[in-house]
Structure 1
């Protein structure tokens, strides 16, 4: 994800002037945008090519003068002649934000494509690079927004003092969330009874007292934010606290509310900033305080995420919980390589297992499964990949069984390796940094591993 070169803000212009220098079509376009605000709009040009009489603006048909910028909040220059140059110089000398139409490198700010539902405004900006794209995005958002969004926002603002007198913190947020999302409130607003309905909802929330907490165990997927489920996105926006693992990318955490508390419980191999017992106690404490907690886990929370221990602690403390599934790394790795982990006449099943700490009985069982045609997906086995492969061979698995390794599955930075169980056991290739999925089975030969690094000189055929 790239970094913004501009900082998006809403800029106060009430009681000030917006000065537009120019008398042509571009000046008219900026004037139509500026009159949506409460600022006084002034248009200055020695010669007016356009009739501005239908707009609530002041027209000065004369050359620009530096004193025209007294009390100005913003300046638009849509004149390529001497008046435009004088206006640019005057604006810069006074420190007034300047927009030079169609000259991005001279602009202090850009005019976004705006959705106006006063007091709600949504601005889509492209830093001057793609205004047509910004306009198309605006049209898509307009299509899904209720025409009553602005009225709902005004109703919420009118209730602010009354809400503050009876609710605080999370309880107040929950009231506002219901107020602005409830179809009943919107229907009452349309009938002219919005204020009465808003007060009735407030009385209901005030009578509930302290709301009970809840912990959502959310699968954050393998690392790409666009693989998050819609439910996960919604709950992240509702969470008061986000408790997340080390492998959960910042882009996913940032989908939460900006004012939500964020707690990194970063467990990594060989370094645990929080023990599992401490994480359990943290979730119980936060839920007991009435917080809505998003417990973000990499992949799927129920697959090698120690969710069972956290659920047991929550149940024991009587804390409500909900599980939101996510895409586990093995499924992302299969998609990355177009590998059909179950395939007619090749693989009748798919087994997920962790190679870290596997004992002899487990290895013997895996070897039998791989030999029988099932596909193995081994998690947490990169550091013991070669000895694990050797032990599988020792338990009877063929050294010629195809193997594929995906590092950082589901991410743009993924790295692929291919070979056989024997070539993996040889340890000739050092695997890249990052979480790994090791596939073992005949179905691997039917995936797309053309971009993969060979684990050894010996290769298996890609069908």
Structure 2
């Protein structure tokens, strides 16, 4: 690390800006906003000795001789100096700033790429809503109260997390500042012993970039994350450094935790005051048993928030270039699984009722499911199988329903898989052919 990151208190301090034009004006304005006593000296007016007594100097001139002299004078006097666009003549660099006063986020590339710093600032600007400024003030007020009460740092941290995971931020976002302040104070008064909350969060099909902002925030602030087996390491890496991860996923052929035990664990952690995330693949309410967990948590009096995710039933076809509805081709879609009692009868009925059928399934069931559907809607009906949707190792093949299992075997398609049946598969064959990690059998007749 070449540069030590630090924020300077320049209130009332003499600061000098050398130069004229846009950059000099901007630098002077920023320093004045920080309370500095700013003197602007043009390149032609600058004389050696003008920097005496300055705390900080910004040379925004484009005169190389002025740059050389200002650098030499500042170095000799031990004054912090930044010569704009001259990294070798800088004792400090000014980062790109995202302002949510009093919250400041600084981004630096150590002088390597101002463009990249600006691009990152734009991304953070979109993510960091205006509510973060007043939220900082509220937490600061609570912090002072907790310190007066002699609360330990670990206990304080739990209170701050409870504020972050409460409705406080949402209230600020909606302009209800007074309500947010009352809630933050109430949480602070309750201390670390207050009740926790459970968030049922959809992790999407696998790519962490497909998570919602809210899901990312909850993962970053969670004390505990109870996750499914298929959640990717990249998604779990979004959890905070102090979060405790518990794998409660179900795996074929292995002893699996009972659903009742998972719900009981969620209740236990929430009642102990923890911020808990139940992280489920896809969407928690689409064949994710999220409804059962919600009912159990509500019955136990636990506060619950639900964060939808992109279900694999829609993400997998989309990632393979297959629209589940398409004008003139398909106007209805049915989503189901190949598990549970009566699943084959259910498949037959849905295949006849909907233009497009999407089946979430274990790869091992493909041959049986495809055979049943082929007898129901005809073996020539177009079909596709997608595995690892949205991930770098995504696989996708397509072909007639009566041959799709063999095609998938030949391509060594992984598990679990998503089966799509309907004319939309043939209609999108060209799109599928040009997408990465996809192949088209081509003969749907």
Q: TM-score, normalised by structure 2?
A: 0.69
The within-5 A match list for 1:120-139 is 120-123=103-106, 127-129=113-115
**Equivalent of 2:276, from 272, 293, 296?**
293
1:315–1:231 CA distance, 2 compared to 1 (3 A):
same
1:326–1:203 CA distance, 2 compared to 1 (3 A):
closer
**Equivalent of 1:424, from 389, 397, 404?**
404
Instruction: Give the distance between the partners of 1:264 and 1:348, measured in 2 at CA.
Output: 39
Does residue 245 of structure 2 align to residue 263 of structure 1?
yes
Aligned-CA RMSD value:
5.4
Count of residue pairs brought into register by the alignment: 428
The within-5 A match list for 1:155-166 is 155-156=141-142, 158-162=144-148, 165=151
Give 1:57's aligned residue: none
Shift of 1:406: 2.8
CA shift digits 1:386-425 (9 cap, x unpaired) = 46434654x5553211112233334576443221113313
**Equivalent of 1:352, from 325, 333, 336?**
336
Contact 1:341–1:350 (CA under 8 A) maintained in structure 2? no
**Equivalent of 1:404, from 374, 380, 384?**
384
The within-5 A match list for 1:190-205 is 202=185
Give 2:48's aligned residue: 62
Shift of 1:308: 5.9
Give 1:13's aligned residue: 8
Shift of 1:32: 3.1
Instruction: Give the distance between the partners of 2:151 and 2:230, measured in 1 at CA.
Output: 42
Shift of 1:299: 0.5
Give 2:201's aligned residue: 218
1:300–1:98 CA distance, 2 compared to 1 (3 A):
farther
Shift of 1:288: 2.7
CA shift digits 1:306-340 (9 cap, x unpaired) = 44664576467664544443221011234342423
Q: Which runs of 5+ in 1 are unaligned?
A: 51-59, 190-196
Give 2:323's aligned residue: 339
Shift of 1:431: 4.1
Contact 2:199–2:304 (CA under 8 A) maintained in structure 1? yes
Shift of 1:376: 2.7
SS in 2 for 1:61: coil
Contact 2:202–2:284 (CA under 8 A) maintained in structure 1? yes
Q: Which runs of 5+ in 2 are unaligned?
A: none
Q: TM-score, normalised by structure 1?
A: 0.67
**Equivalent of 2:19, from 23, 28, 35?**
23
Contact 1:76–1:101 (CA under 8 A) maintained in structure 2? yes
Give 2:29's aligned residue: 32
CA shift digits 1:36-86 (9 cap, x unpaired) = 44678788x8x7347xxxxxxxxx731799xx8x99788767555255357
Shift of 1:439: 0.7
Does residue 443 of structure 2 align to residue 459 of structure 1?
yes
Instruction: Give the distance between the partners of 1:206 and 1:406, measured in 2 at CA.
Output: 52
**Equivalent of 1:242, from 210, 225, 238?**
225
Shift of 1:33: 2.5
The within-5 A match list for 1:359-398 is 362-363=343-344, 365-367=346-348, 369-370=350-351, 374-386=355-367, 388-390=369-371, 392-393=373-374, 395=375, 398=378
Range moving further from structure 2, 320-329 or 154-163: 154-163
Shift of 1:295: 0.8
Instruction: Give the distance between the partners of 1:87 and 1:372, measured in 2 at CA.
Output: 80
Instruction: Give the distance between the partners of 2:221 and 2:14, measured in 1 at CA.
Output: 38
